[in-house]
């Protein structure tokens, strides 16, 4: 599937100032509950981020998650790494089919329309596109191949023609979330699982292939006629496009369990001895009025609606960057004028022919971002530079150009 347009043009990311390099990147790994360096020794940094289920428009929660991983992408590039980035689109799944049925729209048309809107939103927010943007439907052969491989090592069984993955086949099952069985069982049903289905060997086993249901789309395959389960979609896509061991598996914290736990286990059983990701990185949940923003609840602040209201997308991006990616936060309209004022201040400071010194600023901003993507701290450092410049420090000719390049490449904000 086609990705979106790169904000830096077809050639890629905007460049840092000449000769500048960021430090090695560390991020918080949910699995070890510690900061972990994610700088590959050789070859590109490989990142898989879970993409949207396209049945409604991009909200600020989605945007926050994709901007968080965009910071990681940029921090790696600042440190001199090539990045191989893959993202999926869950373009066939229960919530999408349910929405299409409820509104009487063709599910393919719904998925295509919302995916296109997501691309437009990502381009406006200057999120770097993935190298491969991959749909579930187009990946069905990969899923079938992976399920067959899991079958060949005895990890698949059948319940009325639906195929299940035996979670106990992965000795490391549970290590992504670190949750107890009780904690897992408490949320499994609410997050797409079916713990009580008769015939399952373990209540936590997850669906790999769902046999055709009346009125639902299905594909012919060696597994019978049906469609892929959710978790295996991501493990099959990641494994095919990035290999058996990746650097970062990313998504919002609502995906820690079951989604990332299950996809990691499936990949680890398919490739025995492998560890699926070096780090499992999760963005906090964005809420509205005390509740998680979600398409199913409908309490949404949409990126497209904010853009239609005339808001500069760079203001939206600055609102997002003002919150540390790992914490949960609530959408607050008062953040908008504050971000507008900040953007205005930075734009006026970089427009001056000379400004406050930039050498430490550049190092400190890159260090903040390489240290668990601390964008709020980076913004405060830039506020300080803009204030100092505004007060009349003009000791460095051309400082504005350096800051413009820094803010563009490291934070994705165009001044």
Where does this chain bind Zn ion (CB under 5 A)?
50, 234
The entry of Zn ion, ligand 5CA, none that residue 292 binds, CB within 5 to 8 Å by partner kind = ligand 5CA
Q: Which is nearer to Zn ion, 230 or 346 (CB)?
A: 230
Q: Is 65 in the site for ligand 5CA (CB under 6 A)?
A: yes
Question: Contact with ligand 5CA (CB under 6 A): which of 16, 50, 137, 142?
Answer: 50
Q: Is 292 in the site for ligand 5CA (CB under 6 A)?
A: yes
Given the structure tokens 């389960």, which residue do they identify? 229
Size of the site for ligand 5CA (CB under 6 A): 21
Q: Is 293 in the site for ligand 5CA (CB under 6 A)?
A: yes
Q: Which is nearer to Zn ion, 90 or 409 (CB)?
A: 90
Q: Is 400 in the site for ligand 5CA (CB under 6 A)?
A: no
Q: Which residue is nearest to Zn ion (CB)?
A: 50
Q: From the CB of residue 181, how many other CB atoms can be counted at a distance below 10 Å?
A: 11
332, with CB counted inside 10 A (0-12, 13-18, 19+), is: exposed
Q: Is 193 in the site for ligand 5CA (CB under 6 A)?
A: no
Question: Contact with ligand 5CA (CB under 6 A): which of 285, 318, 378, 379?
Answer: 285
356, with CB counted inside 10 A (0-12, 13-18, 19+), is: buried
Q: At a CB cut-off of 8 Å and minimum separation 6, what does 339 contact?
A: 315, 316, 318, 319, 322
Task: Note whether 380 and 369 are within 8 A (CB).
Answer: no
Question: Contact with ligand 5CA (CB under 6 A): which of 26, 62, 239, 317?
Answer: 62
Phi, psi of 268 (to 5 degrees): -70, -30
Q: How far is the CB of 405 from ligand 5CA (least distance, A)?
A: 29
What is the per-residue binding string for ligand 5CA in 109-138, x denoting contact by CB under 6 A?
------------------------------
Q: Which is nearer to ligand 5CA, 90 or 177 (CB)?
A: 90
Q: How far is the CB of 62 from ligand 5CA (least distance, A)?
A: 4
Q: Which is nearer to Zn ion, 234 or 361 (CB)?
A: 234
Q: Which is nearer to Zn ion, 50 or 375 (CB)?
A: 50
Q: How far is the CB of 159 from Zn ion (least distance, A)?
A: 23
Q: Is 146 in the site for ligand 5CA (CB under 6 A)?
A: no
Q: How far is the CB of 235 from Zn ion (least distance, A)?
A: 9
Residues 241 and 222: their CA atoms lie apart, in Å, by: 22
Q: Which is nearer to ligand 5CA, 65 or 221 (CB)?
A: 65
Q: How far is the CB of 52 from Zn ion (least distance, A)?
A: 10
Q: From the CB of residue 132, how many other CB atoms can be counted at a distance below 10 Å?
A: 17
Task: Note whether 373 and 344 are within 8 A (CB).
Answer: no
Q: How far is the CB of 189 from ligand 5CA (least distance, A)?
A: 17
Q: How far is the CB of 67 from ligand 5CA (least distance, A)?
A: 10
Report the DSSP pairing between strands 83-89 and 45-49: parallel
Q: Which is nearer to ligand 5CA, 118 or 164 (CB)?
A: 118
Q: Is 294 in the site for ligand 5CA (CB under 6 A)?
A: yes
Report the DSSP pairing between strands 354-355 and 396-397: antiparallel
Q: Which is nearer to ligand 5CA, 7 or 229 (CB)?
A: 229
97: left (phi over 0), alpha (psi -120 to 50) or beta: alpha
Q: How far is the CB of 121 from ligand 5CA (least distance, A)?
A: 12
Residues 372 and 281: their CA atoms lie apart, in Å, by: 10
Q: At a CB cut-off of 8 Å and minimum separation 6, what does 221 contact?
A: 140, 144, 209
SS3 category, 293: coil
Q: How far is the CB of 249 from Zn ion (least distance, A)?
A: 9
The entry of ligand 5CA, Zn ion, none that residue 113 binds, CB within 5 to 8 Å by partner kind = none
Residues 361 and 381: their CA atoms lie apart, in Å, by: 7
Task: Note whether 212 and 226 are within 8 A (CB).
Answer: yes
Task: Note whether 151 and 145 are within 8 A (CB).
Answer: no
Span 219-258, contacts to ligand 5CA by CB under 6 A: 234, 251-252, 254-255
The alpha carbons of the chain give a radius of gyration, in whole angstroms, of 22
Q: Which is nearer to Zn ion, 60 or 234 (CB)?
A: 234
Contacts 24+ apart (CB under 8 A), 40-43: 40/81, 40/247, 43/82
Under the rule (CB under 6 A), what is the footprint of ligand 5CA? Answer: 50-53, 61-62, 64-65, 88, 90, 234, 251-252, 254-255, 283, 285-286, 292-294
């Amino acid at each position: 599937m086609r990705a979106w347009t790169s904000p830096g043009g077809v050639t890629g990311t905007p460049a840092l100032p000449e000769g500048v390099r960021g430090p090695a990147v560390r991020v918080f790994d949910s699995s070890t509950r510690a900061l972990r360096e994610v700088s590959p020794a050789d070859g590109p940094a490989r990142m898989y981020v879970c993409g949207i289920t396209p049945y409604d428009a991009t909200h600020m929660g989605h945007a926050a998650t994709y901007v968080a991983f965009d910071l990681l992408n940029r921090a790696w590039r600042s440190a001199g790494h090539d990045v191989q980035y893959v993202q999926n689109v869950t373009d066939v799944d229960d919530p999408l089919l349910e929405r299409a049925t409820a509104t009487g729209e063709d599910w393919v048309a719904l998925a295509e329309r919302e995916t296109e809107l997501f691309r437009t939103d990502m381009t406006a927010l200057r999120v770097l596109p993935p190298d491969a943007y991959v749909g579930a439907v187009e990946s069905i052969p990969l899923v079938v191949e992976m399920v067959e491989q899991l079958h060949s090592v005895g990890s698949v069984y059948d319940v009325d023609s639906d195929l299940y993955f035996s979670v106990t086949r992965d000795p490391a099952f549970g290590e992504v979330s670190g949750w107890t069985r009780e904690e897992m069982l408490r949320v499994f049903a609410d997050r797409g699982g079916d713990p009580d289905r008769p015939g399952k060997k373990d209540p936590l086993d997850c669906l790999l292939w769902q046999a055709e249901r009346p009125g639902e789309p299905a594909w012919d395959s060696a597994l019978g006629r049906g469609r892929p389960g959710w978790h295996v979609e991501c493990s099959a896509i990641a494994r095919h496009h990035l290999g058996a061991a990746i650097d970062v598996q990313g998504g919002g914290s609502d995906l820690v369990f079951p989604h990332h736990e299950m996809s990691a286990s499936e990949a680890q059983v398919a490739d025995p001895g492998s560890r699926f990701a070096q780090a499992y990185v999760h963005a906090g949940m964005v809420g509205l009025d005390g509740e998680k923003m979600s398409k199913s609840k409908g309490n949404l602040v949409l990126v497209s609606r904010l853009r239609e209201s005339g808001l500069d997308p760079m203001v939206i991006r600055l609102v997002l960057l003002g919150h540390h990616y790992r914490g949960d936060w609530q959408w607050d309209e008062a953040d908008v004028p504050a971000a507008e004022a900040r953007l205005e201040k930075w734009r006026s400071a970089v427009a001056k022919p000379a400004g406050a010194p930039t050498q430490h600023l550049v190092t400190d901003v890159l260090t903040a971002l390489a240290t668990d993507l601390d964008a709020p701290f980076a913004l405060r450092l830039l506020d300080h530079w803009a204030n100092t410049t505004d007060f009349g420090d003009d000791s460095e000719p051309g400082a504005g150009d350096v800051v413009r390049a820094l803010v563009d490449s490291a934070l994705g904000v165009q001044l």
